[in-house]
């Protein structure tokens, strides 16, 4: 049954843009690009490119998976609005996947997902046996180092090599690929996950 499910997966929650097309758990096509700005203009053409690469008719899609964050406030909204728009047009469900779930995808060992807030601290969540072992928590590097968890993974973890003795796992999958695979496990409502308010200047 699963190999007949076609999923379009999107991730624009961080300083990148990622799109993947899956048949069940098999990746048919994907694209990834580092991009801090302009995601709104680039996302739909990238979706079209992925569909064209696989000669896939979008009318055959069964479902959409999208990252809900935490991450860039603007990026999260871009991904969610695009996913909802396509889902509404095609009459198919949209599944949310957190940035934590995507980063921990396919990892079984106890691991702390670490995402950089760009404010000197980190969004974190502990996973054990591939499942959430705590709610998301904002931690400093000192608090991270005080935990007994042996390994870190995530967009923030890769920048901590010189600040921690814990093992750093690389993210083995492009974000949208991880979002698509995680969408067959635990999902959430396609609503943004914000752990703090946005910076607003007037």
Q: Secondary structure of 30-45 in the HEC alphabet?
A: EEEEECCCCHHHHHHH
Tally of structural domains, the chain: 2
Task: Please say whether the beta carbons of 6 and 22 come within 8 A.
Answer: yes
Task: Check whether residue 24 and residue 92 sit in a common domain.
Answer: yes
Q: Secondary structure of 92-144 in the HEC alphabet?
A: CCEEEECHHHHHCCCCCCCEEEEEECCCCCEEEEEEECCEECCCCEEECHHHH
Task: Check whether residue 22 and residue 74 sit in a common domain.
Answer: yes
Q: Is 18 helix (H, G, I), strand (E, B) or coil?
A: strand
* pLDDT at site 198: 53
By percentage, how much of the chain surpasses pLDDT 90?
76
17-69 per-position pLDDT tens digit = 999 999 999 999 999 999 878 888 999 999 999 999 999 999 999 999 999 99
Residue 197 lies in a domain: no
Q: How far apart are CA 1 and CA 48, in angstroms?
A: 26
Q: How far apart are CA 145 and CA 123, in angstroms?
A: 14
Residue 192 lies in a domain: no
Task: Check whether residue 86 and residue 115 sit in a common domain.
Answer: no
Task: State the pairing for strand pair 122-128/111-116.
Answer: antiparallel
Task: Please say whether the beta carbons of 12 and 81 come within 8 A.
Answer: no
Q: How far apart are CA 71 and CA 165, in angstroms?
A: 25
Statement: residue 135 has pLDDT above 70: yes
Q: What is the pTM of this model?
A: 0.91
**Whole domain around residue 145: which residue ranges?**
107-169
Radius of gyration of the chain, Cα coordinates, nearest whole angstrom: 17
Burial bucket for residue 168 (CB in 10 Å: 0-12, 13-18, 19+): middle
Q: What CATH number is given to the structural domain containing 165? A: 3.30.420.40
């Amino acid at each position: 049954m699963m190999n007949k499910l076609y999923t379009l997966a999107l991730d624009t929650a961080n300083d990148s843009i990622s799109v993947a097309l899956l048949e069940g758990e098999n990746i048919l096509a994907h694209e990834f690009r580092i991009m801090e700005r302009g995601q709104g203009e680039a996302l739909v053409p990238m979706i079209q490119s992925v569909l064209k690469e696989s000669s896939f008719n979008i009318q055959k899609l069964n479902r959409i998976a999208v990252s809900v964050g935490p991450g860039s406030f603007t990026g999260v909204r871009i991904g969610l609005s695009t996913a909802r728009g396509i889902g509404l047009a095609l009459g198919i469900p949209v599944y949310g996947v957190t940035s934590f779930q995507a980063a921990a995808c396919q990892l079984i060992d106890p691991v702390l997902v670490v995402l950089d807030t760009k404010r000197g601290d980190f969004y974190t969540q502990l996973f054990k046996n591939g499942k959430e072992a705590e709610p998301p928590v904002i931690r400093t590097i000192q608090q991270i180092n005080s935990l007994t968890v042996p390994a870190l993974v995530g967009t923030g973890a890769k920048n901590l090599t010189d600040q921690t003795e814990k093992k750093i796992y690389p993210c083995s999958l492009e974000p949208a690929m991880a979002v698509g695979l995680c969408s067959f496990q635990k999902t959430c409502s396609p609503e943004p996950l914000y752990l703090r308010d946005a910076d607003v200047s007037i």
